[in-house]
Structure 1
């Protein structure tokens, strides 16, 4: 009787696998479990379009059990620096800061490029001023209070570099106010600050506010000044994760690219899903479409951009040491 029962064991195992009961995928290897630190939506339509299919499970990385953990960007970056996420999103300046401290992190892809206004008709990232403040030239920002959304953000470096090198602004004469974009928009409205950098959804509101005007558009000014692309954020991983699971990380990047393509092909669907969660209308979110692109890879132009950004980070004393560009991106091949 026992012998007869044993004959059923292979059949039962096969049935369990077919039904998905087994934790081992069809390829015969267990899935790699990875944590991904993200900040939900990043206030912008283009992030929603690129990520929503991954958030909803419409797209999944092959061979990877990916746990996506949302938190505000500053918290997400601190957690990456503390080694509490396998990979995640970081502003390039936060990443430079981490590497200058000797933390075991390495970038695996560029997450976001800002697009010039001529491509979209909408500022992707801009410096706004109160109309009543009488600021019609960047030089008039001296002696004023200016908001910057997180001093480790890409906006911080771009804004200061453009003001200093293109317009000759004495940065030491500016009082910088470090808050998240929604709060900076409120402070600008109330007159507590004279100008602020804004991006994403708060920028959409500022564009419709008759009391506020655009002083300069960040990607337009940066590309005109330097001829390089406007990188803002990177996908960064722990060095130990890169060494142990390069194929799994490649799978995650591939899933991110597929999620982006799904969002571009099903824009109304993904914006509707996100709008319900964020409490905005779909049409409101649509205003920012096309202002940024999420490549989830590294191209030759990106390396040229990073080289210049490293130089500015040192010149503006945002990091206290030079970094070797050749070590900043991992080769996952």
Structure 2
């Protein structure tokens, strides 16, 4: 039986550690695991240069590029970095913000507006807490 050589670029996650170390070997595949610390670097190298056979890709980036017609990939819904984002909204303790609705009219910073975590958080705020996103000033960087 011939094996298929596949390069896989992925961030350093506990969920993929067994693939990285070789403790788990996919049957029929010669997996070359390419660990890259920065997921945005993985996304850029994959989108720009098609640098790997497979890689992780943020849901938001995949949808944006697919919408722009620049996505010659097959997306599968397997996300190595998955978690509830409810506990990842941090506020200044002197801001007077006590509930999600108090974020209306405020300034919120995110690493990237299109970052999947930021997309999920906007969805949470709007759909679970009825926060009007249009009233918020968003800062990326």
TM-score after normalising by structure 1: 0.37
* Residue 124 of structure 1: how far off its partner (Å): 6.8
Matches within 5 A, 1:172-191: 172-179=134-141
Match of 1:144 among 99, 103, 106: 106
Question: CA offsets per residue over residues 168-226 of structure 1, 9 Å max, x none?
Answer: 433233232335xxxxxxxxxxxxxxxxxxxxxxxxxxxxxxxxxxxxxxxxxxxxxxx
d(CA) in 2 for partners of 1:77 and 1:110?
15
CA contact (8 A) 1:98 1:105 kept: no
Greater Rg by CA: 1
The residue number in structure 1 matching 2:8 is: 36
Indicate the SS of the match to 2:57. strand
Match of 1:127 among 89, 92, 96: 89
* Residue 127 of structure 1: how far off its partner (Å): 1.5
Indicate the SS of the match to 1:134. coil
Match of 1:61 among 5, 26, 48: 26
Question: CA offsets per residue over residues 236-281 of structure 1, 9 Å max, x none?
Answer: xxxxxxxxxxxxxxxxxxxxxxxxxxxxxxxxxxxxxxxxxxxxxx
Q: Which has the higher helix share?
A: 1
Point out which structure has higher relative CO (alpha carbons under 8 A, 6+ apart).
1
* Residue 125 of structure 1: how far off its partner (Å): 4.3
| Structure 2 segments unaligned to the other structure (5+ residues) | none
d(CA) in 2 for partners of 1:51 and 1:131?
36
* Residue 167 of structure 1: how far off its partner (Å): 3.5
The residue number in structure 2 matching 1:205 is: none
d(CA) in 1 for partners of 2:63 and 2:79?
15
d(CA) in 2 for partners of 1:88 and 1:168?
35
d(CA) in 1 for partners of 2:138 and 2:115?
13
CA contact (8 A) 2:19 2:33 kept: no
Root-mean-square deviation (CA), in Å?
A: 2.4
